[in-house]
Structure 1
Amino acid sequence: MPDRLDRHPKMNTSFLGILGVVLITATAAAIFGVRWQAQEYQVQLQRELGLRGAQALAQTFNKAISREWDSLRAVASRTAYAEPAEMQDFANAVVRAGGQIAWVGFASPDGVIIAGSRGERMGEDVSQRNWFRAGFSGETVGTAYTKNEGTNEEISLINLSMPVKDSFGNTQAVAVYSVRISWVADYMAEAAQELELSALIRDRKGQTLVDTRPEAGSDLPARVEGLILAGRPDADRTRLHRSDAGHLYAVLPNFTLNSMPGFGWTLIVDVREDSFGAAFPQFVKNVNMILAAVGISVLAATLVLFHYLTRPFQRLIRAATALADGQMVYPREEQSTRESMLLSAVLARLQTQIQSLRAKP
């Protein structure tokens, strides 16, 4: 009999083995599930940040550029009946007000510059310039271009122009603001940095006007380029794409306000996974530690309960074995569970019967 018993594990060993497998499996499944859910949440958060970030940057840009439009409209309104000298004063004042405007000019109806900031380009014929021809009849935004200001450094500009009309609606002149693209870039870079995003702006010709990415000038994924092309010229909703490298790109075409002339520009926001995900590894680590602590606590509590439930049976088994070996023992009355009470009562009856049999001659 002992040989046969040795082939079978003890109840404690079997229970601990099964319990260990169950707990390890359950803990691993819980950790995997939490990690998967955290990754899914991270992707959803990244998409939400991309969408909200694109909208926030668009509003920031619109707020800044609308101020320049309001300024241009105010200047055009106040110079409807002004002499060239007064126009000159306005042109100089606007340029001195900030570094965002490189040059302000007024052209006569026949296309000759009659006033310009710092006296530049006076008398120049601009009748064939796009800003003059388009601005003669209404507000317009030109295409970005590069200009040399007399130094080796070239600057990129974009022209905002509109007619200067009298009270009868007749065009008396065309006013133009040459806005520095560098100002737009610096303004957007500051806003993007505060939001921990990167931003690009493409014009209607596909030129990159602003690129605040650390790797500025590098190519965008082909899928994003496709979204940019698909977004022109009249789309108005944000498109999202997540690259294999963990970048979330939000493409927002025609993001300028309807109260301004159409720029035809596209805003691309790049949300990097590492820009906001630094807390996620620590979060997952903390959750894993909590799950491990819970697993250990459950294991300890189960062992205590198992010991409490099985200890009476172990004592009764030893008593039964002793009775079978002919020893005179008195089984303890167990009361931890109904089963242990029944078993101890049965052993007590057996012990009594054995004593009675032994007492007979």
Structure 2
Amino acid sequence: MAIMRNLSLRRQITILVGLLCIALVSAAAIGAAYIAQQRTREIVMQDAAETALTMASILDRGMQERFREIRNIAEMRLLQQVWTSDPAKTRQLLEQLQESFTDYAWIGFATADGTVRAATRGMLEGQSVQGRPWFQSGIKAPMVGDLHEAALLANLLPPAPNDEPTRFLDIAMPVRDESGKLIGVLGAHLNWSWARERRRALFADPAAKRGKSVWILSGNGTVLLGREPGRKLFSEHQVEAIRQERNGAFEDTTGEEPILTGFAVAPGYREYPGLNWIVISRQPDKTAFGVARGLVWTILLLGGAVACVGLICALGIARGVARPLQAIIDAADQIGRDPEITDLPRAGGSAEIVRLSAALRSLLRRAGMAEQRVAEASSKHEKDITALRHLAETDPLSGLLNRRGFDLLGTQAFEAFKRRGTSFAVLIIDLDFFKTVNDTYGHGAGDDVIRTVGQAMKRALRPTDRVARFGGEEFIVLVGDIARDDIMAVAQKLRRAIETTSTLHGGNWLSVTASVGGGIVRDSDRDLQDIIERADTALYQAKAGGRNRAVIDGLQLQLATSAA
């Protein structure tokens, strides 16, 4: 402190502002780098989990389509006579099906005793499949069998690419005749290349791949599609944890380099029961988190550059602050002094501050200036209170009254009714299917629609009527001094104003309709809430009646027609 007292104000400001700038920029840069790294890491891990989930959904939906195809064929009434007709005719039907559904390597119909009656290209016809799992399960109920190598068809089908063993997914359905009697099983072998094609389609855009690979594991963790099929990639404990968590991401550190691994369990879809496949998305850490590390270094280097600029700016700020302070000191020292007013105590610090404290002692001799400041502060305080009251009673999105503002006006109207019998009504307006706007065009579009509808209702009302936003897509209107027979006209006018109003958002014109419920004050009402409850009940009736209509408590329902 002794050193600081001997320095000028300009030098003190330069040192203090410079140190503060360095400290703040360093803290901000380190904090921003940490937050950016963590957030980017979360995004990358979420992307890995979403990639696995997307592939799992593709597999489940694809298998559901295959499951539904075989089931529809087996249950189709028009084909019930084909199964017991000439085998050549049955074979012709199955081959036509295979031409339409090229993912199937073999489709066949086996009689109830397990003998293949007809099959595509005549394969296995006359042979018994009674011992095959697909027949044993399919004779009882619809089934989907997990991946397995071809047994009876291994020598009849062309070899798989890359000399891989031919593998199938079995789908089997019981077949019944017109009387409901079980006559056999329709079986289909889905070629595993089907899954490989789905995986290839997932990365149709090479830029989206960025070193990712997608593998498919069985429910016990055995690799079905990926490097080294047949081996187990994870321990039993890891597989069990993946099954329990269902979807997520983690870093696999068991290999030579850490691998970001996203996972998702395929649970099935609709009537397809699912085989509990585990889909994993793998990407090397150095590739997955490379952007995050680069971002950290960029922020730190930028922070250092900003700190250097801050030091230079601190010197300029110090010079700029010292000059006007010196001018203030010189001007204040010329103001007349009153000998009856005691001096201010001398202030320590720089030479400029000492001189400023001497000049300020003369200000005490002008008490009128202090009084003027008090009056100005009091006036500003009143303006601030008025502004805060307005903010507290206004909905920030629509600019309309909020619930608090409406309750104040509604309570005043109810008290006036009790004292003088001045009638009034309450209308509740709810936008129909508003969630569709948010889901289709985003919440920004929904906000634009709320604002447009609010202004349209204000224009449709009298200056004495007040409209407020109760929250979400619900509005409430206080209609003062209104006859019972006229309130429906006001409700329909509001409804038509909303229906004919369009909102432009992102190049799209958005239109909505609204349902209106109303209640008119009664002598038996205890407070404003009784009227609002009746209006809300009427709104429910308008919604239940088909929406885009107005219902007033105690009046006949009117539909929302162009003539209404």
Same fold (TM over 0.5): yes
For 1:335 and 1:216, locate their aligned partners in 2 and report how far apart those are by CA, in whole Å.
89
Cα distance in 2 for partners of 1:284, 1:156 equals: 47
Aligned residue number for residue 241 of structure 1:
250
**Aligned counterpart, 2:200:** 189
Answer whether contact 2:252 2:260 (CA < 8 A) is retained: yes
1:277 Cα offset (Å)? 4.5
Does structure 2 conserve the Cα–Cα contact (< 8 Å) formed by 1:199 and 1:269? yes
Does the CA contact (< 8 Å) of 2:14 and 2:317 recur in 1? no
Superposed displacement of residue 134, structure 1: 0.3
Q: Which residue of 2 aligns with 1:355?
A: none
Say which is worse superposed, 41-50 or 241-250, in terms of deviation. Answer: 241-250
Question: Which amino acid in structure 2 is aligned with residue 186 of structure 1?
Answer: E
Determine if the alignment matches structure 1 residue 158 to structure 2 residue 169. Answer: yes
Q: Following the alignment from structure 2 to structure 1, what is the Cα–Cα distance between the partners of residues 69 and 295?
A: 49
Q: Give yes or no for contact 2:223–2:231 (8 Å, CA) kept in 1.
A: no
In 2, Cα distance between the equivalents of 1:279 and 1:81?
63
SS state at 2:146 partner: coil
**Which residue number corresponds to residue 208 of structure 1?**
223
Q: How large is the RMSD of aligned CA atoms in angstroms?
A: 3.9
Q: State the alpha-carbon separation in 2 of the partners of residues 345 and 134 from structure 1.
A: 99
TM-superposed deviation, 1:108: 0.7
Instruction: Pick the structure with greater CA Rg.
Output: 1
Match of 1:29 in 2: 27
Taking the aligned partners of 1:10 and 1:17, their CA distance within structure 2 comes to: 10
Contact kept? 1:57, 1:192, Cα under 8 Å = no
Q: Provide the residue aligned with 1:229 in structure 2.
A: 240
* Distance in 2, Cα, partners of 1:344 & 1:64: 83
**Structure 1 residues 31, 217: closer, same or farther in 2, change over 3 A?**
farther
Q: Distance in 2 between matches of 1:292 and 1:163?
A: 73
- 1:68-79 superposed matches below 5 A: 68-78=66-76, 79=79
Alignment of 1:159-174 (within 5 A): 159-174=170-185
What does residue range 251-290 of structure 1 map to in structure 2 within 5 Å? Answer: 251-270=263-282, 273=285, 277-281=289-293, 283-284=295-296, 286-288=298-300, 290=302
- In the alignment, what sits opposite 2:191? 180
Percentage of pairs with the same residue: 20
2:110–2:185 CA contact under 8 A, matched in 1: yes
Matched residue of 1:143: which SS? Answer: strand
Distance 1:101 1:306 in 2: 81
* Compared CA separation, residues 85 and 54, structure 1 to 2 (3 A): same
Cα distance in structure 2, aligned partners of 1:341 and 1:21: 21
Counterpart in 1 of 2:531?
none
Residue 100 of structure 2 corresponds to 97
Question: Residue 136 of structure 1: CA displacement?
Answer: 0.5
Q: What letter corresponds to residue 136 of structure 1 in structure 2?
A: I
Matched, 1:307 2:322: no
1:120 is displaced (CA, Å) by 0.8
**Which residue is equivalent to 1:81?**
81
Corresponding residue of 1:127: 130
Relative to structure 1, the CA distance from residue 246 to residue 32 in structure 2 (aligned partners, 3 Å threshold; closer, same or farther) is farther
Conserved 8 A contact 2:173-2:187: yes
Quote how far apart the aligned CAs of 1:110 are.
Answer: 0.5
Deviations 1:38-92 (A, max 9, x none): 1110222133223333332222112222221222122212432212233212221
| 1:25-64 equivalences in 2 (<5 Å) | 25-64=23-62
Distance 1:345 1:209 in 2: 85
Change (3 A) 1:183 1:345: closer
Inter-CA distance 279–118: structure 2 relative to 1 (3 Å threshold): same
Distance between the aligned counterparts of 2:251 and 2:129, measured in 1?
Answer: 46
Structure 1 unaligned spans of 5+: 1-5, 317-331, 347-361
Report the CA distance shift for 1:236/1:100 in structure 2 as closer, same or farther (over 3 A): farther
